[in-house]
Chain A
Amino acid sequence: MSPSRSPDHRRFEHDQVHHDDDSPLSIHDMTVAYHRKPVLWDIDYAAPQGKLVGIVGPNGAGKSTLIKACLDLVPRASGSVRIYGKSYKEQRRVVGYVPQRESVDWDFPASALDVVTMGRYGRIPWCIPPRKNDKEAALHALNQVGMGDYAFRQISKLSGGQQQRVFLARALVQDARVYFMDEPFAGVDAATEAAIVTLLRELRERGRTVLVVHHDLQTVPEYFDEVLLLNMRIVAAGPTSSVYTEENLQKTYGGRLTLLTEAAEAIARSG
């Protein structure tokens, strides 16, 4: 879907939403507002199956909000979201989520294993404590991210990178088909960064789709097959090789300056 569709086109389509049932995530005409101030405008996007998708944009572009709106964590002012053709409510079991590391209090009384076990809570009924096989799954996931030795360590005694890996392990035990990760690379050491990249590629090999909010522009082409450039609206989306261009980045990050540059170019052309 092209980001440069006319408003009229959108209006006509409004009542007969067309979602791609095979897409792990399809967003249709979504607008999100905080306190009536829109932060995301008219988002249309369909993620391809089995790809690593980077969500890139400046601070305040609405990257986290995009993820949260997809997961019903913030209300949508309009539009709809489908996971494999169904609403998020029906598809929770196939979705995994890695929130921003700073969103929780790491001084909370819990061990790494406790936190990872939380990934299984979704499939345990209310009022039933996690069982042995849940703990085993959690331990296995910790081993997968190279944190097996730290299972019983208090989470405040882990480094930032280790905490991030704990969050990833928690998403792994969700055993999802689509993953949403909010800045998993933020503030991590080189070893953790490498471990996360390996993990992402493993997930892709197993046919999972991963959407990752990412802030390091340098590594985007290396890490992601597909990129979604976001600045309150979708500036461009598609395969990294074709979409991740200097021009699109300018549009995403440039803000007012881009207008000036474009105007200057127009003047230069007319002259």
Chain B
Amino acid sequence: MRVSARSISTVLMGALLLGIVVAAPAGAFGQSDPSTHRSITDTRFDWPTWSSVVRVATLRDHNTRIVVLGTTLLGLAAGLVGTFAYLRRRALMGDALSHATLPGVAAAFLITGEKNLTYLLLGATVTGVLGVLAVLAIRQSSRIREDAAIGIVLSVFFGAGLALMSIVQSTSTGNAAGLNQFIYGKAASMITSDATMIGIVAFVVVTGTILMFKEFRIVCFDQDFAASMGRSVVLIDLLMMGFVVLTTVIGLQAVGLILIVALLIIPAAAARFWTDDLKAMTMFAGTIGAMSGWIGASFSALLPKMPTGAIIVLTAGILFLFSMVFALRRGILPEAVRRIRLRRRIALQHLLRAMAEIEERTGKPTPIDSAELVNMRSWTQRDLRRLTNRAKGAGLLTRKSWTELELTKLGRTHAQRVLRNHRLWETYLIEHADIAPSHVDRDADEIEHVLSEELIDELERALEAGQDIPPSPHDDTPDTARTMP
């Protein structure tokens, strides 16, 4: 596997730091005395005390341990299977699925009359799968597209669920109060048996995803090719959606049906920034999902009034934002740094080429007046000074006097290579691309800096070029109209 240990440790370190940043304000608030009354209503927010934060963070209570373990496993499973749902572009299907579980939960309660989690989740699975089938049926039998079909199924099933919930609330004798937790999620209400069930199902999903890695990979990348080799795409898709269903259903209690889809999408999308390798991506996604679950559950234990789902998803969202900006492989910031470096390299190469062209004209290594250089390109005096300072720092040239510059031996080698690439490319454009000699200079200007070794080799072969620098194919007098790219 080609993911560096460095990038993994970076993401882990970053996540840890984030966790501290997220957790710190809560701790700070906790130290203020909670007994002083600031509000006259009983909706006052109960900030946890510092000692309770420590208790939760160190998993001292049995119940906290159970809850944290359950949601962490859930996040891990969601991250893994979510990677494939994301790559298969089935992530929103999970949203229709999760919303469609509500009528099942309510109906299961109405039928059994008790709040037994197994029955409730069984009901959730039944209507959830019905929801997915409804989306597929609408898409297959009409011209309605998938996004609209998902929207229809999602809202209609959710509406049915809300209606059933109101019946539940009006008929039952108070023991239905906890059903709302399936909408917003409340990890703290988990008991040992719940966590055990979540753990077992999460284990099944994780193991299944790892076993099916090869099949999931090929179906996500190229389903026609998979089918041509005799793999049943339908069966593989069914398994994948089956894992999504399982993850969603066990996530209902902790995260809630509105936000559970986020746990499928966000870790996968965040992981994509860190790596170009699928195995590494699933591992990153699993880690990000697990961390979101852990942190979210900890907060839920500290802030019983806050919906757990929201905290888990916010944590995942922060990790996503961090990945998007800082991820070494595809993050915005490293990308920008690479672009700036390239622009600087190009400017430096322009300077070197200008000096090489002057030396070529004079026929011998000479000190060059910077006034002459300013004429070569549309440099300002300040640009040139900055450039020459950088080149001097890199040991490419020396300053003979206040205005005179001279290439060092290293600088000359560089400069001549840049000039040669430029000329080779110009010649190629004239001979093979039929571009007028008066235009090739500017075209070559843009491309010569990104020529790879392989391309230069090909150029040399195409032109049957020797090691010397070909003469300029166009009038080489200083051109002040030339612009810097």
Contact = CB atoms under 8 A, between A and B. Distances in A.
B276 A111 contact: yes
B315 interface: no
B211 interface: yes
A128 interface: yes
24 contacts: A68-B224, A71-B228, A72-B228, A73-B227, A103-B222, A103-B224, A108-B220, A108-B221, A108-B278, A109-B87, A109-B272, A109-B275, A110-B277, A110-B278, A118-B225, A121-B215, A121-B229, A121-B231, A122-B230, A126-B212, A126-B215, A127-B211, A129-B213, A152-B2
A188 to B, nearest CB: 15
A92 B227 CA distance: 10
Given A71-B228, A114-B278, A129 B221 contact: no
Contacts of A126: 212, 215
A97 interface: yes
Given A126-B215, A127-B212, A130-B214, A109 B277 contact: yes
Interface in B435-460: 454, 458
B189 to A, nearest CB: 37
Given A109-B275, A154-B276, A97 B214 contact: no
Contact of A72 (B212, B227, B281): B227
A126 B236 CA distance: 10
B229 A122 contact: yes
A80 B454 CA distance: 48
Nearest to A155: B276
A124 interface: yes
Contacts of A115: 221
Interface in B323-347: none
B458 to A, nearest CB: 7
Interface string A92-129: 10010101000111001111001100100110101111
Nearest to A152: B2
Given A104-B222, A109-B276, A111-B276, A124 B214 contact: yes
A170 B218 CA distance: 12
Given A73-B224, A118-B218, A191-B458, A108 B277 contact: no
Interface in A31-72: 68, 71-72
Contacts of A118: 217-218, 221-222, 225
Contact of A99 (B225, B275, B458): B225
A89 interface: yes
Interface residues of B, number: 28
B226 interface: yes
Nearest to A89: B230
Residue from the set B2, B229, B277 with the largest chain A CB neighbour count within 10 Å:
B229
B214 A73 contact: no
Interface in B195-245: 211-215, 217-218, 220-222, 224-231
Given A109-B272, A130-B214, A73 B228 contact: yes
Nearest to A70: B228
A76 to B, nearest CB: 15
Given A99-B224, A170-B225, 16 more contacts: A72-B227, A73-B227, A89-B230, A92-B228, A97-B225, A97-B228, A99-B225, A108-B87, A109-B275, A114-B217, A115-B221, A121-B218, A122-B230, A122-B231, A128-B214, A152-B2
A89 B217 CA distance: 22
A121 B226 contact: yes
Contacts of A152: 2
A124 B276 CA distance: 24
Interface in A145-159: 149, 152, 154, 156
A110 B217 CA distance: 9
A118 to B, nearest CB: 5
Nearest to A157: B276
Interface string B251-291: 00000000000000000000010011110010000000000
Interface in B46-101: 87
Contacts of A111: 2, 276-277
Q: Kindly name the residue among A89, A104, A128 whose own CB sees the greatest number of chain B CB atoms within 10 A.
A: A104
